[in-house]
Chain A
Amino acid sequence: METNNIVDMKNIHKSFGGVKALRGIDFHIGPNEVIGLLGDNGAGKSTLIKIISGVHSFDEGEMYIKGKKISPKRHTVRNAHKMGIETVFQEKALAEKQQLWRNIFLGRQMTNKLGFIKVREEIKETNKIMRELMKFRGIGAGADSYVRTLSGGERQGVAISRAMYFDSDLVILDEPTVGLSLQEVKKVLDFILAVKERGKSCVYISHSIADVYPVSDRFVAIDRGEMVCEYRREDISLEELNEKLIELTKAKVL
């Protein structure tokens, strides 16, 4: 398929047991685009991004990544990594009892031919990432720190920096601002802007649109497994967008 888009999805269906999570979603992610995925709990946002990141497979429909057709059974997390897609999952992003450097390189360790990890190099790179990408200064965390000693914002920063370090073409963020302080939210927004500046794309799920409205290019709302509306940021103000979403939830209640 001839396209500049990073991801193209056509008529994607997905069920879990008897429950239909997605019923024919058409969705695309353009180059250098920041997209906000909105919708109520259980609307299917998470399922959608988990299909792109290789955690779930899809039942029906077609998916293309950079124009290449994806077979649902073959698309694993590892495959997504190889194709330049990195996902940062809220809460589940890091393993707490492990050191920072192990968390950064998990799944893509620097190893010798026998699979033994080059610890020194991984630590060196982690220090570099912390200096240059995370801008962690003066907080005392080092490559050797255990993740449980980091704050929520720092963890989010680690996970996003990991995505940036591996030079992903698409960074997917699952609820990147939940439970963060104002200062930390700002840091996450800076990360998203940095991704955009590097010419890469970003998709995020969020309940608090106000936070992420300013850094987004496009909003896509999903309800009960279907795409219900789509706006470019220049076409809609934050107030209007909020109203639209409240309408959506109301319609569901009635």
Chain B
Amino acid sequence: MTRTKERTKQSFFFKYSSQFGLMIMMGLVLLAFIITSPNVFLKSGIYFSFLASVPTIGIMAMGLTFILGMGEIDLSFPSTMALSAFLFATVYRSTGNFFLAFLACIAAGILVGMTNGLIIAKIGVPSIVVTLGMQYLIRGLSNLLSDGLAIVVRLRGTLSHQILVGRFYNIPHQALWYLGITIFLFFLLYRHKFGEHVLFVGDNQEAARMMGVNVVWVKIGAFSLMGALAAMAGMFDLYRMGTWWPTMGDGYLMMIMAAVFVGGTSMFGGQATIFGTFLGAFMIGTLEAGIVAAGLKGFWTRFITGLLIISAVIIHTLLRKRK
């Protein structure tokens, strides 16, 4: 009988304790920022600027959530982002057609992801190795194609600019797109066959295979999704900056991995949280600006980021053990 009690006691709060923990942590960080620099954090300006910059991180972090939930890793998406955005910039500059540029950009992302997935699932090379190589390969490719030069694209004032990164009562459109993508991916992961297969492959690949899941296709699918999302993030960044840089995406890798881990997705696969990643992206994406605004030297950024990542994952792990 005691067992019955134990099992049925999984209340709402208990079930989502990880997410609540994360929200409390974010609240505390925000409170610290407000106390240290009230003139910045009690005005709306900084929040709108966060809403403009966080989506880039968040969109890619969503893709990585699927990959980690599948028990794999991807190191190549920052390069994929740069290559896709490069294609967008070049196609747009020569044709002026948004749809052609968009198609080239997304197709490139999917192609890189599919190649990753094929090598990982079909040949059996570990994902960390494949995507490490792919990261160099793709960065090299975009450098070769661009000759290492930046590309300026006149996007401001176009209809697509207005739709993608315009403002709706001060709210940057990319934040709304990000919210939409997050909701879609939430349903894809928890309510769609594909997402269920991703989590089963991450949990127990053999069991999934024996229950009739086509593991090869699931892996190719998830890496393609990651590629497509990286391409989308690249496009948003291009629209935001108006310029393509050969180093685009550098520095995102660690940040985005941090966002996913802070959110509560574990490295072991079989479990992933879209909502956690959504929060994690905001936490990681706003930290630097917050620390600088608080009047601390930029050097503090990494120290504090590290502190928060480690405490967040300790909390998640402890809570998971209790379940």
Contacts and interface: CB of A to CB of B under 8 A. Distances in A.
Interface of A: 53, 55, 76-78, 81, 87, 89, 92-98, 102, 106-109, 111, 114-117, 119, 138-142, 144-146, 149
Nearest to B268: A97
B207 interface: yes
Given A97-B270, A115-B193, A140-B5, A92 B210 contact: yes
A115 B204 contact: no
Nearest to A141: B7
Given A116-B187, A140-B6, A76 B212 contact: yes
A141 B270 CA distance: 20
Interface in B1-35: 3-8, 10
A107 B194 contact: no
B192 interface: yes
Interface string B160-198: 000000000000000000000000000100011110110
20 contacts: A53-B210, A89-B210, A92-B206, A95-B200, A95-B207, A95-B270, A96-B204, A97-B199, A97-B203, A97-B271, A106-B200, A106-B211, A107-B213, A109-B196, A116-B191, A117-B193, A138-B4, A139-B3, A141-B7, A142-B7
Interface of B: 3-8, 10, 187, 191-194, 196-197, 199-200, 203-204, 206-214, 270-271, 323
Which of B187, B196, B206, B214: most chain A Cβ within 10 A? B196
A199 B8 CA distance: 37
A114 B192 CA distance: 8
Nearest to A138: B4
A111 B6 CA distance: 32
Contacts of A145: 7
Contacts of A96: 203-204, 270
A93 B8 CA distance: 24
B65 to A, nearest CB: 15
Interface of A is mostly: loop
B193 A111 contact: yes
A78 B212 contact: yes
A204 B4 CA distance: 32
Contact of A98 (B10, B192, B200, B210): B200
A60 to B, nearest CB: 24
Contacts of A111: 192-193
Given A115-B194, A142-B8, 11 more contacts: A95-B207, A96-B204, A96-B270, A98-B196, A98-B200, A98-B203, A106-B196, A106-B197, A117-B196, A139-B4, A146-B323
Contacts of B270: 95-98
Contact of B196 (A76, A81, A102, A139): A102
